[in-house]
Structure 1
């Protein structure tokens, strides 16, 4: 999971970066709008956290650019602007959440995981990988030779890996995003799900699932 954090307060930015990374969330920190837009164009992020008050612009303008160029990228505001009209403005722009300062870092991690799970569950588009496609809203996976009816959890997991294909996905991140927590027994359950996915994709030569024992997986789309 990769997050773009846009926060001009140096100390708060460092604190949040350290806390999020302790929770297996990769963070790229930008202190102004110009840097944030440059990073946004060059790097694929799973989520953006945007402060409204920035030295060279405001977070609402940044969010508008994000929404226009990458409408599928979820974002939330993290700001001291707590007036009702500010909150309404932020949510109208399409923000998944609006968190006002002060706040607890644990709350931010919880909100991030809720946003990512909600986006997976509510996805209604067709997602492609290799020669296969996931019809997320129909809970259906179509491979070159077969069509599989999926459970909700299988569909969420496949949607997650398609959106993160060709990069290492850590086990902890998969567990926290799909199952809600990093737990030994849930980890064993996830291993069973991965075994099912290998069977689902066995007739698609374009897809390869690589295991990095104790670390995570890469889902190759060749």
Structure 2
């Protein structure tokens, strides 16, 4: 059962968040400010932190920075009443993984928590399995049963991204940012070229297929 630390000085928000998280099968720990949250974090194993930005004693910005320094792989979901772009950018720069603006739908919160926990497990294990196809990010090796498949780095990263979230649609821009980086200055059609190559390499596999979602982007669908 994942343990989630919820840090918010609003008792009603904490109660609501913890209620939905517990109903979704998670154990929760509460903290009224950043300092108390940091103390709870150091004393108890935590799988994810939901933190508010505007808290007394130690605000969410500082807490985010401290948590990320202590554990670079800890999933962080930031809650805030602020919706300005620069606030979100600051949160991501300090290390938060996701952002939710108040007022929020509790069901969306639980979905985002699930997604973060899934992503965290994938990042820790460094391996994604799609049926018999195994994609190991640590060794950059792909195997299909007993067959080893050699991929160039960009094709590997693209496949790993798609396979990490089967069924999720990724735009070309999202794939460019993740695989080639935010400072990539080339044509986003390079994604199409790499997708075509991946399809050719895995044309004979029955484990998955990469679908084009017209007007949106691409998604990987499993056949198992």
Q: TM-score, normalised by structure 2?
A: 0.55
Aligned residue number for residue 70 of structure 2? 69
Aligned residue number for residue 17 of structure 1? 18
Q: Which has the larger radius of gyration?
A: 2
The structural deviation recorded for 1:109 is 0.4
CA–CA separation in structure 1 for the residues paired with 2:99 and 2:42: 24
8 Å Cα contact 1:123-1:136 kept in structure 2: no
Q: How many residue pairs are counted as aligned between the two chains?
A: 137
Cα deviations by residue, 1:152-177 (Å, 9 ceiling, x for unpaired): xxxxxxxxxxxxxxxxxxxxxxxxxx
Aligned residue number for residue 172 of structure 2? none
The structural deviation recorded for 1:120 is 2.4
4+ runs of 1 displaced by more than 3 Å? 122-126, 135-140
CA–CA separation in structure 1 for the residues paired with 2:40 and 2:9: 15
Aligned residue number for residue 34 of structure 1? 35
CA–CA separation in structure 2 for the residues paired with 1:122 and 1:38: 26
Aligned residue number for residue 123 of structure 2? 122
8 Å Cα contact 2:20-2:106 kept in structure 1: yes
Cα deviations by residue, 1:92-147 (Å, 9 ceiling, x for unpaired): 11211010001110000000111111222334659xxxxxxxx764599xxxxxxx
Cα deviations by residue, 1:32-69 (Å, 9 ceiling, x for unpaired): 12211110111111100110000112101001111111
In the TM superposition, 1:81-120 aligns within 5 A as: 81-120=82-121
CA–CA separation in structure 1 for the residues paired with 2:40 and 2:112: 23
RMSD (CA atoms): 2.6
Aligned residue number for residue 57 of structure 2? 56
Structure 2 unaligned regions, length at least 5:
128-135, 147-164, 168-224
8 Å Cα contact 1:6-1:30 kept in structure 2: yes
CA–CA separation in structure 1 for the residues paired with 2:98 and 2:21: 17
Shift of the 88–5 alpha-carbon distance from structure 1 to 2, 3 Å rule, reads same
The secondary structure found in structure 2 opposite 1:82 is: coil
The secondary structure found in structure 2 opposite 1:122 is: helix
CA–CA separation in structure 1 for the residues paired with 2:140 and 2:120: 15
Aligned residue number for residue 6 of structure 1? 7
